[in-house]
Structure 1
Amino acid sequence: MSRFLRASRLTLLALSVLGIALPALGQGGPAPAPPPAASPAPKPAAPGGSPATAQAPATDPTPWLYRGSDITQDGNWRFGVLPNGLRYAVRKNGVPPGQVAVRVRIDAGSLMETDSERGYAHLLEHLSFRGSTYVPDGESKRIWQRLGVTFGSDSNASTSFTQTVYKLDLPDASAAGLDESFKILSGMMAGPNISAQSLNAERPVVLAEAREQPGPQVRWTDAMFELMFAGQPLAMRKPIGTPEALNAATPESVKAFHNRWYRPERAVVVVVGDVDQDQLEALVVKHFSAWKGHGPAPATPDFGKPLAAGPVSKGLVEPAMPPMAMMAVLRPWSIVADTVIFNQKRLVDLVAVRIINRRLESRARSGASFLAASASLDDLARSANLTSVQVLPIGGDWDKALRDVRAVIADAQATPPTQAEIDREIAEIEAGMKNRIATAPVESGVSLAELLVDAVDINETVTSAEGSYAIFKDAIDKKMFNPEAVLESTKRIFEGTASRVLVNTHVAESDTAAKAAAALSADVSSAVVRRKAVGNVTFDQLPALGAPGKVVSREVVVDQPKIEKLVFANGVNLLIHSNSAEVSKVYVNVRFGRGLSALPANRQVPAWAGEIALMPSGIGKLGQEEIDALIGQRQIGINFEIDDDAFKLSSQTTREDLADQLRLFATKLAAPAWDPSPVTRAKAGVLAGYEGMWSSPDAVLGRELDSLFRSRDPRWTRPTRAQIEALTPAAFRALWEPLLKSGPIEVEVFGDMDSEETIQAVAATFGALKPRAAGKVTPAPPFPAHVGKPVVLTHRGQPDQAAAVIAWPTGGGTAGIRESRRLDVLAAVFRDRLLDKLRSEAGVSYSPNVASDWPLGLASGGKIFAIGLLPPDKTEFFFELARGIAADLAANPISQDELDRALTPLKQTIIRSSTGNMFWMRLVEGGSLDPLVVAGVDSLAPDIAFVRPADLQALAAKYLLPEKDWTLAVLPEAKKPAVSR
């Protein structure tokens, strides 16, 4: 139905606590309903091209998405079905201005493959982008770059178990650009270039993509699918496929897959953008009407049902992953009409799951046997409906953690929740829905297009934010959210055809599977479950601040858009910009202190735990439980991060909640609490994932690269295991307490609010703080010196994985802001060349990247660097290739076309971003203390727009010097793969 209801789903495999990346998963749902009978398609002039006849074919305007549903239709969409069976939906939307988002969905994913075709759906996605009827090999990327499209973000595709979706976001959609783009997309669907040459060029890229996946996570995912979905195709149908099937692929076999599944009646075209609906509809009709399928239409395969028989449990030994357990209750998936009552019942289920998760989180915070645990209810890939629970134990005692989590669930199944618990969840859901109504006018076209495609895949509809809220309010009026109904739901969602449990340990145990099965079935009903009741919490319970501060100066620092700077008597600075373009959105960013620059450069300190434990440590007498209750029903957040030159508190709020948002932030600085539990939890969490920092080349880069770029300065270096184990709450407080009280404060408030009201709110909060000490600053270390041979690190992952890095020092500080922007353009040119050579031509790396990093808040430390994940024997090839590109950029000016293909997407990214308040906030961040930041606003456009080939050549000659480069190779250790049993 609505985005809100769907957004709560499919947390099954996320394991967000662990940051595990998994293949694209289709959200379960039935195959799309077949279109109504239609007349034969007109004869095409070319595959996917315009009809030979001058008269446009008649389309069926039936809103096909809503067949069988009583959900209120979102009238902003226009639906249609072409005579060839292709369905489409178009919508006018001006967010961001000038952009058009196109999605072409094919109802074919990895579950439609045979054993010999594993990986074909994904391979075909690659081949379609590489070349097709209207575009020679590799040219579609260049055409779209000239139209301002950034490859990999604005033009991309994804393949899941059940669908393949092609994505194009045109940032400046002219009539000619739209027509050309629709022609290219239609040719990609009807006539991709599947030749021996293209297949042999793209196959290594797909194999490289598979090779670059992190081994431990892949093995966990494989084991999970094989166990949970035993006997179903889902168990063995990863979208990435298998090397055996991919290597055996021939042009004929891939064409056969394409001809079988790429058919107009299995396609949906979704277009949303700043163009009249009539024009969007005409483009679909013009370019997709002539598409005809090959041969008889195939039947969608039977994806099977969960089996009651089969293995119940499995153990895995992956030291690079935290110890964990995942249990699931599986039920057959079935087609269910997306109706009002169906969604209301699902809302009751959602409340039941939320209550369980809140209780689990409360137990984890108070020192339970588990670090984290959460439950979710999902439909997966038209194969199963399941309730899953993920458990991250403290230490290695997963058995006790699993039983304790099951005890919380058993308690929820035995005793109805209180109405107060239900009302809290209802209030938070309602607050989220109301915010969506308020912000609906600024919902992006990309978001709307993605939502509709997702709805098609899972056999759901879409409705407006108001429509979704009406369904929710009707459920409240029917008194559906009562203790008895939630209890019944809690019982039902933990019943099913089969129960399974998968466990990961760090050391081999002879009986893991047997212990897991016993823990899954053990009677835990007698376990004592203590619930912490949190009563009504108000902002009046926060510590009082001082008298409101006085403004001592006020000036306009940027004319267009109007940005003001105010200084309060206590030294607090405010940058403010009132703009109602983003309805009901207000962004707050508070920079305080000196960030990493305030830390000592001669020893390791527990700053690493700050982003995990500092905010949960509480405010005044309120702990995290109480703060959650305080802000859960409001649009108020409390995010914290550490920059090189400042600490940052940030959130998105509303005009109504802004004053309390500011009060929460200010009180955190004035009266922080020091609950030891979050520190203990942070330490346990980091230790649980510690071995993972050696598990793959990119894990090693994540652990070491910042440190190496900073000459091993401890401020940018990860702590050792001993340093983590030595952390105490007292040491954490000793570091952070003075940091919260010292250093300058800059408050930024940008968005849909009243400037005078906001100034008063800042005066009453940050303006009321005591004056602060300036804070000490330790200079940043230099960039490492040139090395004759690469620095070599090792990883403990797959033996066919390696990484290579080459970097050249540049600079830092706002005095060089113009040069920093032009280095971004140089990096874009370098990236495009490296991508073409390393990926498209050599096929040895899937996602090489080049970036420029110029720290505006530091006087030095900038670099331009290239990174590639590749086979171990290709690291020297990477260095030679990168050095060759660097030398050529320094010796020869690039062509104007190459410059335009790098510059136009960058310009369009800036233009699109500049329609949002967050863009301007980030642009002037730090500007209250450094006037050059503010001065750089007016120079942004000319700094980028007027760059010439000679400018980039001069930059390359200045910085990409062979005697200055620094190189790193991450190579595998010899190690046996982990075992499962």
Structure 2
Amino acid sequence: MKKHFLIVVLSTGLFIQPVLAQKKATTTKASTKAVVAKLIPNDPDVIIGKLPNGLTYYIRKNTEPKNRAELYLGNKIGSLMETEEQLGLAHFTEHMAFNGSTDFPKNEMINYLQKAGVRFGADLNAYTGFNQTVYQLPIPTDSVEVFKTGFKILANWAGKVTMEGKEIDNERGVIVEEDRQRGKNAQQRMSNQLLPFLLSNSQYAKRIPIGKIEVLTSFTHDKIRNFYKDWYRPNLQTVIAVGDFDVKEVEQLIKQNFSGLKNPANPKPRLNYTLPDNITPNVKIVTDKEQPYNVAQVIYRQKSSPVKTDADFRRNAIESMINSMLASRIQELTQKGTAPFLFAQSSYSPYQGGLVWGESALQTVAVAKSAKDLEKALIAALAENERMVKFGFTTGEFETIKKKLEAGVEKQYKEKDKTKSAVYVQDYLDHFLVGSSIQSADYNYAEFKKLLQTVTLNEVNAVAKTLITKNNITIIVQAPEKEAADLPKEAQLLSALKTAGNGITPYIDNTVNKPLIATMPIAGKIINESKNEKLDITTLTLSNGIKVVLKPTNFKNDQVIFTSFGKGGTSIASNDDYLSAENSSLIAQFGVGDFNPTQLSKYLAGKTATARSYIDSEYQGFSGSASPKDLETAFQLIYAYATNPRKDVEIFNKNISDYKVITANKNSNPNSVYADTLQAVLANYHKRGMPINLSDIDKISLDKAYSFYKDRFADASGQTFVFVGNFEVEKIKPFLTTYLASLPALNKNETFVDNGVRPPKGKVSKTVYKGLEDKATVQLFFHDDYEYNAANNVQLDALKSALEIKILERLREKESGVYSPGVSLSVEKYPSAHYYFTISFNCSKANVEKLIAAALEEVNSFKQNGATEDDLKKFKSEEIRQEELSLRENGYWVNYLANRLKYGDDVEQLLGNKDRINGVTVATSKAAAQKYLNGENYIRVVLVPEK
């Protein structure tokens, strides 16, 4: 088991997002310039039509990925349309769409799609927001029957959901458990106080999509049936189809399936809602016993509109430039030992992630080490806003961001014929929902080129000044309850807002004008070359012992990705030094040579190239990507990280100081305590597998970490590199000989050390008592040593897939006791071959034992009967369909080839995948269950509220 590294990502989510994941809508503040703005023409490659009943449709032919289509049903309705008796029923309706319709009773829809290779949750999904409800259905197009049925499914969602009483009642528990899984924590409790405040007690504040539990558990069936009848109507709906198909055929399928849907005789008006203004700043301070951090946020909110004109486009691009430059400044400040905050961020974006239509905001966040430091931390973050407004950005920053923007635009344009269908869907959805333009790739490219030629620093700085508003300002603080007495008072927060700019000076652009590599290395040679025709891979051996595997592809026009590995990793560190060794990867965060992280970022502006070293438990190496034209830069980065790492005491000390604060505060969060316990149990309390504590942090030495890093990359002879993407073998060879064959080689022939970190044998049960609310977390592990090979792994995969289906059916559909139970499988070959099956779920404390018993009943059923034919058919279809997609992904090939080479497997293993998948039977699944789910090595770890 692997330990946590010192490099931590600090999450500062301030409240529950009241929808499933979605892309942010693009908006911009209305331009105040007295110019004639031109409407952006819609992309001519998309067909936009409307049926007589008012339903809008969007159709686009796109062949990436091949033989696939993205079908969406968008509804311009959400929780804002609910009455007081329907709170939460917009979201509940979304659930019911999967629980029975005219043409697909009960769960037949999901069963049908799974047999066609469509995964429930991963592919087939939906979300509900304030203003919209959206259903997504990625579907294969090479089966005529399946593809046509996809449109029938969308039509059933649109107007044929049956809303059977029994199914409604069964789903109540699932909705309640969804609320439990996502909430029942400090974040939700603070959100309950903050959301009405942030949403200004508007209609938005009264219609949070999850609704009210008391309504969800007691509403009469007519309430949800009425909601569906009133609002699911064609004049508020859109069908979006993008994919590898015949456009005329799709248009006919839409007309056939949706023309019969009717609008109500007396339709309810679809109202739009706004947030009221506030002239003086609003301030809210909330605390919670389980909140681990002190967080302050200032929000400058203003009206915004969709991007419809060339002026909107320009303004939106400038705002993106400002966000990037401001983020770079704050990141640079964060790395300094003098930074008064753990984390800070300031950016202008759609308010509430675009959930509130017509509003955007500059939102500035500061996370402090303690309540006493919060005012100082907030002032420091706000000072960067004021520095931006008062002095503007520098010429150097401006030129850097233009280079970055140009490189991004060039890359996007080069990939225009390889754009995935899913990318187009959101643009069409935004056009339907809020009226955003649908820009073609050619328009987007031409306008950005024009912008880069005409935009001035004065223009950018003028826009930056408008982001700090005089009204509609909100200040919120979230903090641990135990530190409430030390928090700044409302008057102090208001004062910080006014005085943050006092004494600030202009930003100093500290750019390094040097080459990345001071002296070019002496090139080595290629001493051996072989070709595998079946996989189209070339293997080279370099003069210093490095092996390079090359697979040219045409999956992307402007992408080359790579990874490498050499045996050793942190496993070879002594027990006395392993804490420093495990944090030696931090060295890669310091930059290289004369370039600190900020300077390196500026140096790379305009180049599409990344590379970074890594050190994990068994291996060390490099990974990255590049545009073909910038491939040499990526190779230079590899060489620099290997031979000229940078030692930065200031950044190291800042990380150590921050990590101490994070570690000291983490035990207030029940999930953190549970995760630490789980880690310790799975490592059987081995010293090298335990969570880091405060005394451990004191043992981390920069000198030791730096020395270990240099040692790991002092001998490149054991490294194997894998490159996949758009390159020619002969043209990449000079880079290989110059930058890889020149790396130092000591020919140690190293391997990793097995330090004996293993999960405990036998049956282990551990209960963690932590938390204020009725929320339990359960994880059940079946594990053991096994023979790692392709045949065994496919049997494990099939068992996992079938068990996942049955656990979902039992715990969610039958017991109504959980929202999204999971069954996961992880396998490892080194340092010893081991597998882990994990069944996990959240539930109420009262249901823990009942649901564990139900889960174990399903496991026992597999041991007695094996998986069903139906479930194995779903597994086979999903696996084969996913492989069809994976085989055209550069990322898949990099990981596949690297893993086969790491483990000494046959690289042609995948050629037998379909035969192995189709070779799974009920009998083999039964044998696998008896072998791998025997329960001899079984770990149960449960989190329940404090007694």
CA shift, 1:86, in A, is 0.4
Counterpart residue type for residue 360 of structure 2: N
- The CA deviation string for residues 180-232 of structure 1, in whole angstroms up to 9 with x for no partner, is 22112211220212132111111111111110124122234444433332232
SS at match of 1:209: helix
- Structure 2 residue 65 is the aligned partner of structure 1 residue 96: yes
Alignment match of 1:451 (pick from 421, 427, 442): 427
Structure 2 contact 537–551 (Cα < 8 Å) conserved = yes
Aligned length: 916
- CA–CA separation in structure 1 for the residues paired with 2:614 and 2:661: 22
SS at match of 1:321: coil
Matching residue of 2:363 = 388
CA shift, 1:399, in A, is 0.5
**For the structure 1 residues 207 and 668, does the alpha-carbon distance in structure 2 shift closer, same or farther, using more than 3 Å as the test?**
same
Matching residue of 1:23 = 18
- The CA deviation string for residues 900-933 of structure 1, in whole angstroms up to 9 with x for no partner, is 0122112211111111122122111144454315
Alignment match of 2:527 (pick from 547, 552, 563): 552
Greater alpha carbon shift after TM alignment, 696-705 vs 275-284: 696-705
- Structure 2 residue 203 is the aligned partner of structure 1 residue 228: no
SS at match of 1:560: coil
- CA–CA separation in structure 2 for the residues paired with 1:248 and 1:690: 43
CA shift, 1:650, in A, is 2.1
Matching residue of 1:418 = 394
Counterpart residue type for residue 247 of structure 1: T
- CA–CA separation in structure 2 for the residues paired with 1:158 and 1:566: 49
Task: Could you tell me which runs of 5 or more consecutive residues in structure 2 were left unpaired when the two chains were aligned.
Answer: 1-8, 28-36
Residues 120-159 of structure 1 aligned to structure 2 (within 5 Å): 120-159=89-128
CA shift, 1:239, in A, is 2.0
Matching residue of 2:4 = none
Alignment match of 1:899 (pick from 866, 872, 875): 872
Counterpart residue type for residue 329 of structure 1: Y
Residues 307-346 of structure 1 aligned to structure 2 (within 5 Å): 307-308=277-278, 312-318=282-288, 319-333=290-304, 335=305, 338-346=308-316
Residues 670-685 of structure 1 aligned to structure 2 (within 5 Å): 670-685=643-658
- Structure 2 residue 731 is the aligned partner of structure 1 residue 757: yes
Counterpart residue type for residue 459 of structure 1: G
**For the structure 1 residues 708 and 610, does the alpha-carbon distance in structure 2 shift closer, same or farther, using more than 3 Å as the test?**
farther
Structure 1 contact 100–173 (Cα < 8 Å) conserved = no
Counterpart residue type for residue 231 of structure 1: N
CA shift, 1:634, in A, is 1.4
Matching residue of 1:872 = 845
CA shift, 1:828, in A, is 0.4
CA shift, 1:895, in A, is 3.0
- The CA deviation string for residues 457-504 of structure 1, in whole angstroms up to 9 with x for no partner, is 342122123211212222334x3x323222221221111532111112
- CA–CA separation in structure 2 for the residues paired with 1:847 and 1:740: 44
Matching residue of 1:62 = none
**For the structure 1 residues 390 and 439, does the alpha-carbon distance in structure 2 shift closer, same or farther, using more than 3 Å as the test?**
same
**For the structure 1 residues 92 and 496, does the alpha-carbon distance in structure 2 shift closer, same or farther, using more than 3 Å as the test?**
farther
- Structure 2 residue 542 is the aligned partner of structure 1 residue 571: no
SS at match of 2:556: coil
CA shift, 1:718, in A, is 2.2
- CA–CA separation in structure 2 for the residues paired with 1:226 and 1:467: 41
Matching residue of 1:827 = 800
Matching residue of 1:174 = 143
Alignment match of 2:410 (pick from 434, 437, 448): 434
CA shift, 1:447, in A, is 2.0
Residues 318-717 of structure 1 aligned to structure 2 (within 5 Å): 318=288, 319-333=290-304, 335=305, 338-367=308-337, 368-380=339-351, 381-382=356-357, 384-396=359-371, 397-477=373-453, 479=454, 481-506=455-480, 507-509=483-485, 512-515=488-491, 517-529=493-505, 531-535=507-511, 537=513, 540-544=515-519, 546-556=521-531, 558-600=532-574, 605-606=579-580, 609=583, 613-639=586-612, 643-690=616-663, 693-694=666-667, 698-700=671-673, 702-717=675-690
Structure 2 contact 79–89 (Cα < 8 Å) conserved = yes
Matching residue of 1:289 = 259
- CA–CA separation in structure 2 for the residues paired with 1:564 and 1:683: 44
- CA–CA separation in structure 2 for the residues paired with 1:130 and 1:482: 56
Residues 190-339 of structure 1 aligned to structure 2 (within 5 Å): 190-214=159-183, 215-308=185-278, 312-318=282-288, 319-333=290-304, 335=305, 338-339=308-309
- The CA deviation string for residues 86-122 of structure 1, in whole angstroms up to 9 with x for no partner, is 0010111111111111111111122222333222111
Counterpart residue type for residue 18 of structure 2: P
CA shift, 1:647, in A, is 3.3
SS at match of 1:934: coil
- CA–CA separation in structure 2 for the residues paired with 1:74 and 1:894: 48
**For the structure 1 residues 287 and 438, does the alpha-carbon distance in structure 2 shift closer, same or farther, using more than 3 Å as the test?**
same
Structure 1 contact 84–292 (Cα < 8 Å) conserved = yes
Structure 1 contact 230–310 (Cα < 8 Å) conserved = no
- CA–CA separation in structure 1 for the residues paired with 2:790 and 2:97: 40
Structure 1 contact 641–648 (Cα < 8 Å) conserved = yes
Structure 1 contact 312–499 (Cα < 8 Å) conserved = yes
CA shift, 1:851, in A, is 1.8
- CA–CA separation in structure 2 for the residues paired with 1:792 and 1:314: 37
Matching residue of 1:803 = 777
- CA–CA separation in structure 2 for the residues paired with 1:110 and 1:780: 55
Structure 1 contact 111–233 (Cα < 8 Å) conserved = yes
Matching residue of 1:842 = 815
> Scaled by the length of structure 1, what TM-score is found?
0.88
Counterpart residue type for residue 199 of structure 1: I
- CA–CA separation in structure 1 for the residues paired with 2:11 and 2:427: 22
Greater alpha carbon shift after TM alignment, 511-520 vs 405-414: 511-520
- CA–CA separation in structure 2 for the residues paired with 1:20 and 1:735: 41
Greater alpha carbon shift after TM alignment, 687-696 vs 426-435: 687-696
Greater alpha carbon shift after TM alignment, 442-451 vs 718-727: 718-727
Structure 1 contact 304–383 (Cα < 8 Å) conserved = yes
CA shift, 1:603, in A, is 7.6
Alignment match of 1:777 (pick from 729, 736, 752): 752
What percentage of aligned pairs have identical amino acids? Answer: 20
Counterpart residue type for residue 963 of structure 1: E
**For the structure 1 residues 965 and 602, does the alpha-carbon distance in structure 2 shift closer, same or farther, using more than 3 Å as the test?**
farther
- The CA deviation string for residues 847-891 of structure 1, in whole angstroms up to 9 with x for no partner, is 111122111343223222211122222222233223222222122
Alignment match of 2:44 (pick from 75, 80, 89): 75
- CA–CA separation in structure 1 for the residues paired with 2:821 and 2:670: 13
Structure 1 contact 851–866 (Cα < 8 Å) conserved = yes
Alignment match of 2:910 (pick from 934, 937, 940): 937
CA shift, 1:962, in A, is 2.9
CA shift, 1:623, in A, is 0.9
